[in-house]
Structure 1
Amino acid sequence: MSNDIDIRVHVACKNILGEGPLWDVEEQRLYWIDSFGNQIFRCTETGTEVESWDVPANIGSMALRRQGGAVVSLQTGFHFLDFKTGETAAIHDPEANLPGTRLNDGKVDRQGRFIAGSMDMKEEGPNGALYRLDADLSVHVLEKGIICSNGPCWSPDGATFYFTDTWSEEISAYDYDQATGTPSNKRCFASFKEIGGAPDGATVDEEGYVWSAAVYSGQIVRFSPDGSIDRVIKTPVLKVTSVMFGGPDLDVMFVTSMARPPLPRFPEDGPMAGHVFAIYGLGVRGIPEGRFQG
């Protein structure tokens, strides 16, 4: 693995809360969101041809659909988005009775299901949950008692699911039943107590190593499959939020960040906060992201 990495500003977008970088191998385009700006963005591998779509509420995550458009997790529940018209259509709001929560990070498993969790908007109480949206649009609760859902991703073979409740200061690993989409045997995969910051968005490379954005400490950490720290990369901003491999060879890491912290207790940042970054020269490739089959 090369140590000659090059971190560049990919798009100078000043997102309030940039999140969820998603590289689509079919379109060769990068998508990402501004959770508090209520927007979805798309650009090329070089950061050009930037387009955006407005959504009607705070957005936690998105995934592209096999039949076109996207599925998005909003404060008001799961919705479909039509990129051509910009219209959203409600699927289901699993927390309609919980005004203090919103849906947050989510990704598609190898079988095309959308796994997304929710969070307490004050990031204090364990009022969130983890959900699975199936192709038939049924919603299933996978776990409860979560403060802030983040970083869902899978091992290359799909048999291990990784997920974090950010304020637990650790990433959890689960056995993942790929036939049913059910995680079990939860255990601590990696602790952030010695790293600083807190685990946010994550992805897995083709070697099975987990990359996690350490929000509020300006670090990206690569963990080996046994949970030990393999590498730490310092970023130009403190509030890095999520990571994803992309580019034609899936060897560029795209990194989102936030310009403004969601709560007063979180630290301010430098002038590049909120930009999307690209890291070249990591010497490792990612895994193509799937599309929602519903």
Structure 2
Amino acid sequence: MKITKLPAPECKGGESPMWDAERGELHYIDNAGSKVHSFNPDTGATRTLEMPSVITTLVLRRGGSAVVTLRSGIHFLDLDTGALELIDPLPDPPPYVYNDGKVDSRGRFLIGGSTANFAAPTPDGGLFRLDPDRTVTRLDAGIHFSNSPCWSPDEKTFYFSDSWVDTTFAYDYDIETGAVSNRRPFVTTRALGGLPDGATVDVDGLFWVAVYQGGKIAAYRPDGALERAIDMPVKLVSSVAFGGPDLDRLFVTTIAHGTQGEPAEDGAGALYVIDGLGFRGRLEHRFAG
């Protein structure tokens, strides 16, 4: 196994890595830096798009564009020009802010909501679903800081974290309706010294999660048992995505500076890749709207 720091743009707050097999690129965001980066690991070429405000999520859309969440709401994003189309606004000030999302096989976008009260976090957030007809439905409530949305390979289980309580939950997922039910604790990352942040599931059903502040990437079996924990060069790891032609490279985003007095680290904010894991991921689905 080999961990490599990539020659890609560094971020104040790297998040939301997404492999684009059609372009052979990894898209990822700098949330605090209000940017979208697209990096080609074969050539080293990079494109950067400036966003008008903090950006918190990026998923791909059928037809080649993307869906992103800003503080103002949900937008379509042209990955070539940077043009934005607001499709679901949030009020100003927002009652919650969107944070982290993924798309199911039917093309629905499930998005976490985090509290807008960052100074004294309260469970104002939740879980939302954007359907292809652009309808937004609240699926759950009582979340402080949302992260880690992803599904088991059969899509019968949906994973979702409240990072404030160091816990990832599992839900029953109905692929026919996009409904969730039976929320229960799945894993806690306290023993690894950090919070669950961005996550993905591989072809074998292992749940891979960035342990923010703990400096680890953890893989959990479907029964919640820890399969392995990988030490990263920096503590503030933020999200993971499998990519490359064979989906066997694990890309890892990181954050330059934390908000709780964490010491500055060399290499924090960089994009990393882990090779030689012996595991393969799955292509993320694209929004159908």
2:173 maps to 1:173: no
* 1:285 matched residue in structure 2: 280
1:64 aligns with 2:53: no
Contact 2:8 2:44 in 1 (8 A): no
CA distance in structure 2 between the aligned counterparts of 1:17 and 1:47, rounded to whole angstroms: 24
Equivalents in 2 of 1:112, 1:175: separation in Å? Answer: 18
Please give the alpha-carbon distance, in whole angstroms, between the structure 2 residues aligned to 1:155 and 1:138.
Answer: 25
Where do residues 128-167 of structure 1 align in structure 2 (5 Å cutoff)?
Answer: 128-167=125-164
Moved runs in structure 1, 4+ residues, more than 4 A? none
Residue 45 in structure 1 maps to residue 41 in structure 2: yes
Alpha-carbon offset, residue 191 of structure 1: 1.5
State whether residues 8 and 39 of structure 2, in contact with CA within 8 Å, keep that contact through their aligned partners in structure 1: no
Deviates further, 108-117 or 271-280:
108-117
1:167-206 to structure 2, matched below 5 A, reads 167-206=164-203
In structure 2, C-alpha distance between the alignment counterparts of 1:219 and 1:212, rounded to whole Å: 9
1:236 pairs with 2:233: yes
Q: 1:80 aligns with which of 76, 100, 104?
A: 76
Asked if structure 2 preserves the Cα contact closer than 8 Å seen for 1:75 and 1:101, the reply is no
C-alpha offsets along residues 228-282 of structure 1, whole Å, 9 cap, x if unaligned? 1110000000000000100011000000001122x2x241231100000000010
Q: Distance in 1 between matches of 2:92 and 2:160?
A: 25
1:154-201 Cα shifts (integer Å, max 9, x gaps): 011111100001112111011100011111111111122222100000
State the TM-score, normalizing by the size of structure 2.
0.95
1:120-170 superposed Cα distances (whole Å, 9 cap, x missing partner): 241611121211100000101011121111010001111110000111211
SS at match of 1:63: strand
> Does the Cα contact within 8 Å between 1:36 and 1:59 map onto a contact in 2?
yes
Q: CA deviation at 1:27?
A: 1.9
Kindly state the Cα deviation for residue 98 of structure 1 after the two structures are TM-superposed.
Answer: 4.3
Aligned to 2:6: 10
**Structure 1 CA distance, aligned partners of 2:201 and 2:48?**
27
Report the Cα distance in structure 2 between the residues aligned to 1:81 and 1:257, rounded to whole angstroms: 23
Residues 131, 12 of structure 1: alpha-carbon distance in 2 compared, 3 angstrom cutoff: same
Counterpart code for 2:38:
R
Residue number among 246, 267, 270 corresponding to 1:275 in the alignment: 270
How far has the Cα of 1:14 moved from its partner?
A: 2.5
Residue ranges of structure 2 left out of the alignment (5+ in a row): none
TM superposition score normalised by structure 1: 0.94
Structure 1 equivalent of residue 106 of structure 2: 111
Can you give the 5+ residue segments of structure 1 that lack an aligned partner in the other structure?
none
Paired AA for residue 280 in structure 2: R
Percent same amino acid at aligned positions? 43
From 85, 88, 94, the equivalent of 1:89 is: 85
Q: For residue 274 of structure 1, what is the amino acid of its counterpart? A: G
* SS class of match (2:164): helix
CA distance in 1, matches of 2:42, 2:234: 21
State the 1:85 CA deviation. Answer: 2.7
Verify: 1:214 aligned to 2:206, yes or no.
no
Amino acid across the alignment from 1:108:
V
